[in-house]
Structure 1
């Protein structure tokens, strides 16, 4: 089954699965049996002839899923070892039923050992479920460490043990899975923050109750989907001219920081802005024009010309390579007074942190470090709950907030969206400058703040995914993305 486009908290799934199962006329133990069967299907799909499977079961329903799977493995004649961190006589409810069915089928369990047998090639993580709120107990943490030291492939049941289902934060120590199978409602913590280092390939199975569940629960987070972007896309008339597609102004590029404004302006022009102009240090002119002769350059030390260009612009980007000099602060103050669509990044955000203001007509694009400065907190605080952080940033600064990182988040004040595209090759300088250029181009063309942010984030990350197919992640440069962004933009508007 394809990954869904809607994501939920652990509590929503816990509450909703009961009512959904009732509406579908099944009980919770039947749901548990379906969950174990779903994991069995993933195991056989990716590892059709496993040599030896180790199933690690905890004491809750996650462990119950593991016992259901163990019974299926036993029935299939696959060599099997089951470790339990919980005394069987302490199991309750459906987990106890699953254990008893496994034993009735001839299954045995062991307490967790200090070593994993050398022939184990697949490990099932059914230790801790989605209800985890603190660090795992010492004995469980030790077992997680043992699993992570193993060379075996790991399949996590519902969520890797030690990962927070609501935030994607690691609660002390976490199983590093190769596959994660999530059930009923996809947990929002699986798609952002440190989760991407631990989940491996994501799978989803609604267990036959997902339709009823969606009727009962409103998704807290939505994926930036192709359908969402297609609905927002604006086609071009055959009679269009440059005046119909906006005047984008980008401000930045202090002495020695010209590369940032070059990347932004090139991305802006290639994303479809009718006209692109730059206010920058005069030292950047030659390099900028050699990269994109279509960009108009003006010296930002000319205050009269600055005012003229700002009046001319349909949308403005502030920040790439800007610096925090008195001149930069002066331009920042001027632009903050305008009721024009704008996007702030980099030093635009650093200046905003020094002089906070609310602006309903602005997109801000902080990475976690910039977000921490804006909120006066630590990066660890931001990453502990990125969903809460992006909502707080939007509430405090207005408009639309893009919180960059693995699983970039977009908040428009009503809804939070997550980008599922992108890869670690994007961990190089200039990526944010390119994103800023794309967003200001879209704003200039008449897209709303939210649509410009969503389209910009998605096309930017998709471009990175396309680029790495050619030469890999290492050495991916921000400028490598621009041709792919152009292609994706044309594909989007052509339907």
Structure 2
């Protein structure tokens, strides 16, 4: 698998990088376009060496120029090439026009696109729309995207799948579902969150051989999470060295959430884990996990000594929103301890918004919408903006869960690329809250605990699906893999 950069960029930042390369380093734009076309063609030949035919869809911008270069390269080696132009190529500008004219001068041909066009090719090249898309896709472009998605060919998207917002990962009415996406110079942040996973396929990268120092000229505060190596433990370590996590939650009927959060904290290495839960089931909670210290609590007075002993508090798994839950929630957030707030803890927080520098909030999109008092669709439309808004409103670290989970501190946003659709099942969030708390208890900063916790949680799920597949994955299936990964 190709090793990708960790830095992620907005589309305007990548345009700035392009400008620096051309103006300050004297690399002509047509040369960069040629390198981009060659990079896509190289990946095409590597992935599908037996392909005999390609169809290239070209739009009206620089993305089209890449498409014409790819078409020309394919024609040279004898592939059957069909180019569909969705706008008059003679109206192309600058380098894209040069690329088109070079293709025509090499005896290339253009096929008019028909609305009911059937596509017969081994590989389709999507060079319709580039990174500058900022409005819904309609008309003939929408029809072309529909036809591409309907065909059974492999699809390579050039730089970004047409119709996908390069900054947010949202779909602008419709988008190409690619087998792989070959992106250039800077990785676009929208390829890693939102709906992007359903449209990008495998993400491949080419720097286009631009000077490495250009990346120092355009600062970005958005990165992919990279797994850290955990230091070995002292041979003289004891349980008190690795922190005490307190899980507060588990109202009637929801004891499993608190139990899974507690076990997850233990599995990533917390020295001690206590659970403060509803008295009705406290005695039963640890029957299958006796290492958990379980306490029935009725009120804040009974919770107080448990709060005093803890290093990190998780509030929310199975908590509910009853009077009992509200009393415990207020007591927890009024403590001076590090906090991880999840599930109904977040729903209660939305009613009494406070700021706290030493907590991690872990909402899914619905909970994020309640925290921001907006619609869930608004959160998903721009997840980067949403996670930054949560962090700004509530302080601490904000984790916006979902495909391409985002972790925001006060000066950066990171994206986790681990995880799979099997995680769409009950209890996964409870396990994540326990993982983050368990890492924080061992001395990780809250930012590192959140970033590494999200990454390890997703990776454990990826290992857990193994050869059995994603359907039927249980949150508790992650436990042995969490232990494996922290070691």
TM-score normalised according to structure 2 size = 0.97
Matches within 5 A, 1:228-267: 229-230=228-229, 233-267=230-264
Quickly say closer, same or farther: Cα 1:465–1:210, change in 2 above 3 A. farther
Q: Aligned residue for 1:206?
A: 207
SS of aligned partner of 2:345: helix
Quickly say closer, same or farther: Cα 1:287–1:3, change in 2 above 3 A. farther
Q: Aligned residue for 1:402?
A: 399
Any gaps of 5 or more consecutive residues in structure 2?
A: none
Structure 2 residue 79 is the aligned partner of structure 1 residue 82? no
Quickly say closer, same or farther: Cα 1:397–1:118, change in 2 above 3 A. closer
Q: Aligned residue for 1:39?
A: 40
Are the counterparts in 2 of residues 9 and 220 from structure 1 also a CA contact under 8 Å?
Answer: no
Q: Aligned residue for 1:493?
A: none
Are the counterparts in 2 of residues 266 and 291 from structure 1 also a CA contact under 8 Å?
Answer: no
SS of aligned partner of 1:198: helix
Are the counterparts in 1 of residues 115 and 140 from structure 2 also a CA contact under 8 Å?
Answer: no
1:70 shift after superposition: 0.4
SS of aligned partner of 1:316: strand
Q: Aligned residue for 1:138?
A: 139
1:473 shift after superposition: 0.5
CA distance, structure 2, for counterparts of residue 363 and residue 291 of structure 1: 29
Q: Which moved more, 1:288-297 or 1:343-352?
A: 288-297
SS of aligned partner of 1:354: coil
Q: Deviations over 1:219-259 (max 9, x none)?
A: 23101113xx23xx454211111111111100000000011
1:455 shift after superposition: 1.3
Are the counterparts in 1 of residues 119 and 147 from structure 2 also a CA contact under 8 Å?
Answer: no
1:153 shift after superposition: 1.0
Matches within 5 A, 1:122-137: 122-137=123-138
SS of aligned partner of 1:277: strand
CA distance, structure 2, for counterparts of residue 19 and residue 474 of structure 1: 47
Q: Aligned residue for 1:294?
A: 291
Matches within 5 A, 1:18-97: 18-97=19-98
Are the counterparts in 2 of residues 251 and 318 from structure 1 also a CA contact under 8 Å?
Answer: yes
Are the counterparts in 2 of residues 185 and 213 from structure 1 also a CA contact under 8 Å?
Answer: no
Structure 2 residue 122 is the aligned partner of structure 1 residue 121? yes
Structure 2 residue 425 is the aligned partner of structure 1 residue 428? yes
Structure 2 residue 419 is the aligned partner of structure 1 residue 418? no
Any gaps of 5 or more consecutive residues in structure 1?
A: 491-495
Are the counterparts in 1 of residues 89 and 100 from structure 2 also a CA contact under 8 Å?
Answer: yes
1:2 shift after superposition: 2.1
Q: Aligned residue for 2:280?
A: 283
Matches within 5 A, 1:258-337: 258-337=255-334
CA distance, structure 2, for counterparts of residue 474 and residue 182 of structure 1: 31
Are the counterparts in 2 of residues 242 and 274 from structure 1 also a CA contact under 8 Å?
Answer: yes
Q: 1:365 aligns with which of 362, 365, 370?
A: 362
Q: 2:378 aligns with which of 355, 365, 381?
A: 381
CA distance, structure 2, for counterparts of residue 442 and residue 169 of structure 1: 32
Q: Aligned residue for 1:456?
A: 453
CA distance, structure 2, for counterparts of residue 71 and residue 121 of structure 1: 17
> What's the C-alpha RMSD, in Å, of the aligned pairs?
1.3
1:22 shift after superposition: 4.0
